[in-house]
Structure 1
Amino acid sequence: MKTWIGGAAAAGIGVVGTAALVASSLGGPFAQAAVAVVLSIAAGLCWPTFLGIPAKRTNGIILALAGAAAGLSAAAVKGPEYLEWTPAVVAVGIMAVIVVQLLRGTGQSHRLESTLGASAGVLLCSLGAGWIATARFTGMGSMLLVAGISTAVALLVGAINWPDTIVAPLAIVFAGLAAPLAALVLTDVAVIPATATGALIGAVLAAVRRLNRTRSRPMPRTGLVALALGPVLAVGSLAYFIDKLLIY
């Protein structure tokens, strides 16, 4: 699959996933957690294929379970620290990844790459709990909506088949502009925190786009799911911590 076609497809999947995470918050934390769990499972199972690491099935199951556990814990915890259990989930997930590599035995290929890649996948899938934490912290009509709109804008700009030197600044600028506009029209979030959120989201998604375009081998179809949903999940925790640092 050509790089630009894969990027456009991943952008579409990411926008749909983002919309589902934002819209499901209207049904409450457990409804949103259900969506986050589904997306985390999809991203987790496909992440090893995206990286091309060994023990794909086992690592994928670990990533999926980590994302599901983090999402459910964010919905169930009383608060006010809604990501209280996320670090523990990440730690257990990384330990499970290391155990898998130990069980593979010595002399196996790409053990270090597999460990680092799968550990990064555990982190990304677990950070999806941030979408639930953001919704519970300030409600649907606040930072959650700003982050969702910024993410969608950055993904759509990233789908343009132009060089990274052009698209990356455009993604940061447009996401940074969309966020305060959404804040002024649709929410009560201040302009400065909204702008910071949008710009950071644009930078994260532009970096992931660059990572994809440096691949030397074709992208597997299932890898597109991980490419699309991994950074989208991570954006949720980014919005949550910015919300806590700059607004409250």
Structure 2
Amino acid sequence: MPLVSDVPEQAPNPAVPLTRRERRATAQHARPALPRRALVARPLAIAATIAFAALVALTGYASPGFVALAVALAGFVLAWGWPLLLSLPSPRGTSGVLAIGTVLMTGTALATRDDPYLEWMPAALAVSVIVAFLHQLMRRDGRPRLTESVAATVSGLAIISAGTALAPIPHVLVGEHALAATMAGLGVGALADPLISVKRLRQWALFIAMLLGGGAAVLVSALAGGPMTGPAALLGLMAAAISHAARRVLAPLPATAMPRAQLAVAAASSLLVGVVAYVVVRYFVA
């Protein structure tokens, strides 16, 4: 007579469908856990993002040249902290390449007075990429992690070029008001970042940031007599969503605990909204 312990366990029948609770539990166990640092709000990154948004919004009412200089300031901050944030080899050389790219792309924005305002931007970006490859050729450390270094440098240049697209926005009709609405969405949307520390609200943080950003953009646009409600809401929603998503993507990096890296995160998440804002303004506002 066989013992109970000798009876083999029956495998679960794959034909029997799982309940909704079982599927949710299985998915949670299969999902890799995020590091704790990815779930911590960085006050310095939030404050720097709000400061950049305020600076660009104010300079938009002065002149497009001042907007270009404000974007250049963010580009230099990114050049300073990007190698540390990504733990890149040859950090000084990478910072130098990004700084040169910032100067070149800002120069094209300042020199171009007529439409198309970004006519020389591709040329400046191409020269910056060539400088990035020359930097790799001139390295004397055996060029470890070459592919990673090139990819990170070119990504930094792309982020700076995206931010430079903010400079020509005041040139178009009611462009200064559209730029203020965009920056309102960027700055107010950053206030939703602390929600990532709250477990129940974590998955809603992006949606809440978009609501805050869109509402702030509509309010600023209405007070300033700027673009219609629809384009203003779109500008605020997109600025808040892109910026929040960028900070969430960069949050798991180990260096984000350092103030210098947090400033780089703020600069990157702020500059990325530029090209999207430019497209929306040109096609829906101007």
Tell me, what secondary structure is at the counterpart of 2:272?
A: helix
String of CA shifts for 1:205-237, please: whole Å, max 9, x gaps.
Answer: 121121133224553321111101122122223
Amino acid at match of 2:247: R
**Contact 2:256–2:262 (Cα < 8 Å) also in 1:** no
- Report the equivalent of 1:26: 61
Distance (Å, rounded) in 2 between the aligned partners of 1:223 and 1:193: 33
Tell me, what secondary structure is at the counterpart of 2:42?
A: helix
Distance (Å, rounded) in 1 between the aligned partners of 2:257 and 2:135: 25
- Report the equivalent of 1:132: 167
Tell me, what secondary structure is at the counterpart of 1:222?
A: helix
Give the paired residue count: 248
| Unpaired segments ≥5 residues, structure 1 | none
Distance (Å, rounded) in 1 between the aligned partners of 2:181 and 2:252: 30
**Contact 2:183–2:239 (Cα < 8 Å) also in 1:** no
Distance (Å, rounded) in 1 between the aligned partners of 2:256 and 2:59: 34
State yes or no: 1:11 paired with 2:49.
Answer: no
Q: 2:264 aligns with which of 214, 226, 234?
A: 226
Cα distance, 1:145 vs structure 2: 0.7
| Unpaired segments ≥5 residues, structure 2 | 1-36
**Contact 1:74–1:82 (Cα < 8 Å) also in 2:** yes
**Contact 2:162–2:272 (Cα < 8 Å) also in 1:** yes
Q: 2:250 aligns with which of 199, 212, 223?
A: 212
- Report the equivalent of 1:52: 87
- Pair 1:196–1:29, CA change in 2 (3 A): closer
- Report the equivalent of 1:162: 198
Distance (Å, rounded) in 2 between the aligned partners of 1:189 and 1:16: 23
5 Å matches for 1:1-248? 7-104=42-139, 108-139=143-174, 141-160=176-195, 161-163=197-199, 164-216=202-254, 219-248=257-286
- Pair 1:25–1:142, CA change in 2 (3 A): closer
**Contact 2:238–2:273 (Cα < 8 Å) also in 1:** no
Distance (Å, rounded) in 1 between the aligned partners of 2:40 and 2:272: 23
Cα distance, 1:123 vs structure 2: 1.1
Cα distance, 1:244 vs structure 2: 0.6
Amino acid at match of 1:233: L
Amino acid at match of 1:210: R
Distance (Å, rounded) in 1 between the aligned partners of 2:102 and 2:163: 7
Distance (Å, rounded) in 1 between the aligned partners of 2:63 and 2:221: 22
Structure ranking higher in helix proportion: 1
Tell me, what secondary structure is at the counterpart of 2:61?
A: helix
Amino acid at match of 1:180: V
Deviates more, 1:160-169 or 1:58-67: 160-169
Amino acid at match of 2:54: A
Distance (Å, rounded) in 2 between the aligned partners of 1:31 and 1:193: 24
- Pair 1:93–1:162, CA change in 2 (3 A): farther
Tell me, what secondary structure is at the counterpart of 1:33?
A: helix
Deviates more, 1:98-107 or 1:188-197: 98-107
- Pair 1:91–1:229, CA change in 2 (3 A): same
String of CA shifts for 1:158-191, please: whole Å, max 9, x gaps.
Answer: 2443354121111122212222232223232112
Tell me, what secondary structure is at the counterpart of 1:108?
A: coil
Deviates more, 1:110-119 or 1:19-28: 19-28
> How large is the Cα RMSD of the aligned pairs?
2.4
Tell me, what secondary structure is at the counterpart of 1:78?
A: coil
**Contact 1:93–1:122 (Cα < 8 Å) also in 2:** yes
With the length of structure 1 as denominator, give the TM-score of the two structures: 0.89
Deviates more, 1:155-164 or 1:60-69: 155-164
Amino acid at match of 1:116: A
Amino acid at match of 1:178: A
Identity value in percent:
21
